[in-house]
Structure 1
Amino acid sequence: MKSTFFRPLLEAAVVIFLVLGAARWVTGLFSKRTYVYQSTAARQLRLLFWPLLALGAGLSVLPAVAMSGAEASTFEWLLTAGFMLFTLALSGPALLLHLRYWVINHETTLVFQPVDNRFEVYEAGQRVPFERRDLARVERVTCSARRTFWAKYDYLTLRLYDGRVITLTSLLTDLEPLAVFLRSLPTDRRTKAWCWV
């Protein structure tokens, strides 16, 4: 009975996935490359896909053991708790980083077009007034733990001569092209196991 119910749902999900992928590919052929970067749902989903999948796998075990009632042994409860803790250890740091980066950059818009030498940052729709000559130093922090769910979370800190600090996180876009664009400035490159701002 379960297979007769889930099979049409799975087939519908695959068809929807293929149609959306084809539509995105076709629109990508005719769309102009954007130079405006924001914290979009697609970017967030790309970063959160594996952590949320791991968290869902960990939490999916709990209802099965809880619904077995008194039949579940202490050993089964310990295995369930261990599996949940394991998946939380895998996905928890990425979820915390994502939340922190969202707090920092959810109202930030980055306009970056290196061909035209255009680099602007907007906070809540208002342009942050600075020029490239106002930048004193750049800090580029990347993740050293490459095989973790939080490996794609990194940030770039722009320190201005007047003391202001602008932080741009990977929630907006891949920051390496921007770091290359700013390579003429004094740059501190660091790697951390967990890139907390």
Structure 2
Amino acid sequence: MKSSFIRPLLEVAVVLFVVLGAARWVTRLFSKRTQVYEATAARQMRLLFWPLLALGAGLSVLPAVAMGETTASTFEWALTGGFVLFTLVLSGPALLLHLRYWMLNHETTLVFQPNDNRFEVYEAGLRLPFARRDVARVERVTCRARRTFWARYDYLRLHLADGRVIVLTSLLTELEPVAVFLRSVPTERRSTYWCWA
């Protein structure tokens, strides 16, 4: 009886998935592509997938040991604690960086169309008043630790002539095309092991 109820639901889900995918493909094909970047859920999941997977693997061991049929020994608890600590060390820095970048750019929108010479930054829906000529210098900070969960977190700091500083993080988009677009501005490139903006 259970399978007779679940099968139609799965079939409907597959049909919806195919129809929505096809509709999305058709609309992309015929729509004018605008380059508007925000901290979308898809972008965040792309950055957080491996850290959350590692954290989930580490935390999934705790209920198994705590609610097992037999009482866990001290050695088993020590192994469990070590595994949880190991996964926290792996995923914790990426989660902290993600939270920091989200605090900096969750209300930021970047409109970037290099072919039209368009570069605008909006904060909470309001355009920040500056032009490309107002950017005095650019800091481009990338992660040196390539094989870590936080390797894809980097940022671009725009120092404006009037003293304001605008921070664009990898939570919005890949930042290298923006840095290339601003190549006429004096740029300081740095690599660090942990890109805390």
TM-score by length of 1: 0.88
After TM superposition, give the deviation of residue 32 of structure 1 in Å.
Answer: 3.3
SS of match in other structure, 1:71: coil
Match of 1:86 in 2: 86
SS of match in other structure, 2:53: helix
Instruction: Render the CA deviation track for 1:71-121: whole Å, top value 9, x for unaligned.
Output: 211111011101101111111000000000000000001011000100010
Q: Taking structure 1 as reference, are residues 18 and 73 closer, same or farther at Cα in structure 2, changes over 3 Å only?
A: farther
Match of 1:34 in 2: 34
Query: In the aligned structure 2, how far is the partner of 1:16 from the partner of 1:83?
Result: 41
Match of 2:130 in 1: 130
Match of 2:186 in 1: 186
After TM superposition, give the deviation of residue 133 of structure 1 in Å.
Answer: 1.1
Instruction: Render the CA deviation track for 1:24-49: whole Å, top value 9, x for unaligned.
Output: 55554444323111111111111111
Quote the sequence identity (%).
77
TM-score by length of 2: 0.88
Match of 1:121 in 2: 121
| Unaligned 5+ runs, structure 1 | none
Match of 1:61 in 2: 61
Q: Taking structure 1 as reference, are residues 27 and 64 closer, same or farther at Cα in structure 2, changes over 3 Å only?
A: farther
Query: In the aligned structure 2, how far is the partner of 1:161 from the partner of 1:167?
Result: 15
SS of match in other structure, 1:151: coil
Query: In the aligned structure 1, how far is the partner of 2:96 from the partner of 2:188?
Result: 25
Query: In the aligned structure 2, how far is the partner of 1:17 from the partner of 1:73?
Result: 49
Q: Which one-letter code corresponds to 1:67 in the other structure?
A: M
SS of match in other structure, 1:100: helix
- Equivalent pairs counted in the alignment come to 190
Match of 2:43 in 1: 43
Instruction: Render the CA deviation track for 1:119-157: whole Å, top value 9, x for unaligned.
Output: 010111111001111110000000011111111100000
Q: Taking structure 1 as reference, are residues 26 and 90 closer, same or farther at Cα in structure 2, changes over 3 Å only?
A: farther
> RMSD in angstroms over aligned alpha carbons?
2.4
Query: In the aligned structure 1, how far is the partner of 2:165 from the partner of 2:130?
Result: 11
Q: Which one-letter code corresponds to 2:128 in the other structure?
A: V
